Amino acid sequence: MKRQQELRIAMALAFVFVAFIKGQGAENELTSAEKAAGWILLFDGRSTDGWLDSKEKPVAASHVLK
């Protein structure tokens, strides 16, 4: 009985882990249709390359999310 409970817990944790890993980055990706329509991402998820502040100066590296 205890072995079955441990197995169920392990399977539940594995499911949560896979769901978490699979979800990583999904919000910051374009579908093929979006790419074909000419959409581009404004944020690559790592840097502020190409971004300008309100005074049209490059955004400082200190503002990068970590």
Q: Which residue has the higher pLDDT, 7 or 15?
A: 7
pTM confidence score? 0.37
CA 48 to chain centre: 16
Measured between alpha carbons, how far is 34 from 14 in angstroms, rounded to an integer? 32
Q: Which residue has the higher pLDDT, 60 or 63?
A: 60
Predicted pLDDT at 55: 87
Q: Does residue 45 contact residue 25 with C-beta atoms inside 8 Å?
A: yes
Predicted pLDDT at 26: 58
Q: What pLDDT digit, counting tens, does each position of 19-36 carry?
A: 666 655 556 788 899 899
Q: What pLDDT digit, counting tens, does each position of 36-61 carry?
A: 999 988 877 777 888 888 888 888 76
